[in-house]
Amino acid sequence: MKKVLIVEDEILARLGLRQLVDWRKLELELLPDATDGEEALEMIRNSCPDIILLDLNIPKVSGLEILEFLKKEEMPTKVIVVSCQEEFDVVKKAMKLGAYDYLRKLNLSSDELENILEKCLVETEERITVHMQGIREIRYEEIVRDSRDILAGACNYQTLICILAKDTEELSRVTEIIHKWAETELREGLQIQKGNQYGYFLLEEKPEKSVYMELKKRAERKTGRELYMGIFEGCMEKTADIVRAAAMAEQIQLFSYYDKEEKLVFFQKKIETEGHSPRGMHGYLDSLKEKIRSFDREKTEQELHGIFGLIRQESYISINVLRRNFMDILGIYSMVAQSLNGALEEIELDGDNCHYQKIMMMESLREIEKWFLKFNDIFMEKFWIAYKCSRSEILQKVVKYIEVHIMEPIHLSDAAAETGVSSAYLSTMFKKEMGYNFIEYVNLRKIELARQMLQDGKMVYEVSELLGFENSTYFSRVFKRYTDVSPDTYRKQM
């Protein structure tokens, strides 16, 4: 079993991590916890953990210093940073020092942690399951580092197929199709499953290209989407041959990441990838920073399109390099949010606010670009008011007045008197700066709160009274104007 070390100074956090996943099920052994950096270094030297869950903000020796030590000693340990650290520069430095991934301690779910741990096990190639075609089934550990030639003399394979799935469920569907085909065609072979995405299938002979195409079509009918298939053809007599062939065929991930139309690819050599950002990226990032700072939504979208166009001009750039570029983009948004006393975690996209992890897990440039454009829209809406208020003392006072009196009837004249300007000036200035007239903005804020109250189970008449509407009828009319449904209907739906 592989060893895991938790490095955390808070006892509740340590207990939480220990109870969050079934370590035995993952075939992982938990070492005694380290409560500070010195204890962590001692445990690392004495026990050589395979995986470390590391808090960056720990006493005596910092988390970054531990990462520096691991890098200097060239230790193969995978480090998952689990921290409340919100400073993007610190997180980025941790990733540059070799951290495998970053998880926010707040609201960390068992599924999230388990997925990352499984990916760690896959990438260190510590667990690969092998199935012989037919009844026989065998399993072996540490195929890459095992000096014994496990498969020596067992067979002479000529073909290795790698199919890239999106998750374990999809991979099992693909596996079922391949097995049925092998049984029908009386083919002998070997299946190697690596993690929850890569399915390798070895055959004793080289089929015609039409066979690969037919298998791909069957798998796509089963999964309901187009799949990427990488193929290596050549003599594979030993375990090391199979490992090398798998590395060749799994380069199909690059084709998938770049959304290439060619989805069935034969590989005979390693693809050369660039280890640096595309030329011109820094200029785009600087320009993007200015557009986001000025909250110019249209021009920000143009810059994002430009960045992805630049990436696609050069094939191929290392996926890890691109992920660092995407983290730089998120870092710009984070910097702007912080300047407005906000944080990226306030933004929820598709039910998720772990944006750094989301980007690290995505496997398609097309999907990443869509995600950033959607994220940009939500970001601009979320921080638009704060941005405008930061540029105008009058708007700042007005918005504050509205928030303080949101549970009461609010009138333009009262807000104007509070801020020391005339009603006419405030009305004109508010519309020009905010894009809404004063009453529209007040109603939008009230309806936003009304939605939450209705979701929490309050009755329509209660919400109407709490938010200072004249009566339930008027409240219902305003609610439907902004949501297209009545409050009664909305409450039942929620």
CATH of the domain at 236: 3.30.70
Q: What token pair was written down for 198? A: 């890569």
User: Do residues 31 and 43 make contact, with C-beta atoms less than 8 angstroms apart?
Assistant: yes
Q: How many residues does the chain have?
A: 494
Residue 245: which of 258, 259, 257, 234 has the closest Cα?
234
**pLDDT, tens digit, for every residue of 8-25?**
998 888 888 998 888 988
One domain, residues 322 and 368: yes
One domain, residues 319 and 382: yes
- Alpha-helix runs per DSSP H in 128-268: 168-185, 209-223, 239-249, 252-257
Torsion of CA 157, 163, 165, 168, to 10 degrees: -20
Last residue of a domain, one of 387, 415, 437: 387
Long-range contacts of 289-297 (CB under 8 A, 24+ apart): 289/332, 289/335, 292/332, 292/333, 292/336, 292/379, 293/336, 295/380, 295/383, 295/384, 295/387, 297/376, 297/377, 297/380
pLDDT computed for residue 124 by the predictor:
53
Q: What is the spatial distance between Cα 250 and Cα 262, in angstroms, rounded to a whole number?
A: 15
The neighbour count for residue 193, using CB atoms within 10 Å, is 20
Within a domain: residue 276? no
One domain, residues 261 and 348: no
Within a domain: residue 420? yes
**pLDDT, tens digit, for every residue of 144-178?**
333 334 444 446 789 999 999 888 888 888 888 88
Last residue of a domain, one of 102, 122, 142: 122
One domain, residues 364 and 307: yes
Q: Work out the end-to-end distance of the chain between its first and last CA atoms, rounded to an integer number of angstroms.
A: 46
Coil, helix or strand for 31? coil
One domain, residues 261 and 131: yes
Q: What is the spatial distance between Cα 156 and Cα 159, in angstroms, rounded to a whole number?
A: 10
One domain, residues 405 and 299: no
Residue 371: which of 386, 384, 357 has the closest Cα?
357
One domain, residues 8 and 116: yes
One domain, residues 334 and 396: no
Tell me 268's DSSP state: S
Burial of 24 (0-12, 13-18, 19+ CB in 10 A): exposed
pLDDT computed for residue 103 by the predictor:
85
pLDDT computed for residue 332 by the predictor:
94
pLDDT computed for residue 155 by the predictor:
60
Find where tokens 């995986």 sit: 51
Within a domain: residue 275? no
* Per-residue pLDDT in tens (0 to 9) along the chain, 494 residues: 789 999 999 888 888 899 888 898 888 999 999 999 999 999 998 888 989 999 998 999 999 999 999 888 778 889 999 877 556 678 778 888 888 888 887 778 888 898 888 888 766 544 444 543 332 232 323 333 333 344 444 467 899 999 998 888 888 888 888 888 887 877 777 887 676 778 888 888 898 999 999 999 999 999 999 999 999 999 887 777 888 898 899 999 999 999 999 999 999 999 988 888 999 999 999 999 999 999 999 999 999 999 999 999 987 898 889 988 999 999 999 999 999 888 888 888 888 888 888 888 888 999 999 999 999 999 998 898 888 888 788 888 888 888 888 898 988 898 888 888 888 888 888 888 888 788 888 888 888 898 889 888 889 888 888 888 888 888 888 888 888 889 888 888 87
One domain, residues 163 and 261: yes
User: Do residues 98 and 340 make contact, with C-beta atoms less than 8 angstroms apart?
Assistant: no
Residue 212: which of 164, 156, 264, 173 has the closest Cα?
264
One domain, residues 8 and 118: yes
Tell me 307's DSSP state: H
Q: Three-state secondary structure along 10-22?
A: CHHHHHHHHHHCC
Task: Say which CATH number the domain at 109 has.
Answer: 3.40.50.2300
Q: Which residues contact 50 (CB under 8 A, 6 or more apart)?
A: 2, 3, 4, 76, 77, 78, 120, 124, 126
One domain, residues 105 and 89: yes
Q: How many domains, the chain?
A: 4
Strand order in the sheet with 78-83: 28-30, 2-7, 51-54, 78-83, 101-104
Within a domain: residue 274? no
One domain, residues 181 and 87: no
Within a domain: residue 427? yes
Q: Which residues pair with 157 in a beta bridge?
A: 236
**pLDDT, tens digit, for every residue of 298-319?**
999 999 999 999 999 987 898 8
Last residue of a domain, one of 67, 96, 122: 122
Within a domain: residue 271? no
Range of the domain at 372: 281-387
The neighbour count for residue 246, using CB atoms within 10 Å, is 23
Q: What is the spatial distance between Cα 39 and Cα 233, in angstroms, rounded to a whole number?
A: 50
Find where tokens 């409050």 sit: 487
Q: What token pair was written down for 267? A: 């590989």
Within a domain: residue 166? yes
Find where tokens 């008027």 sit: 474
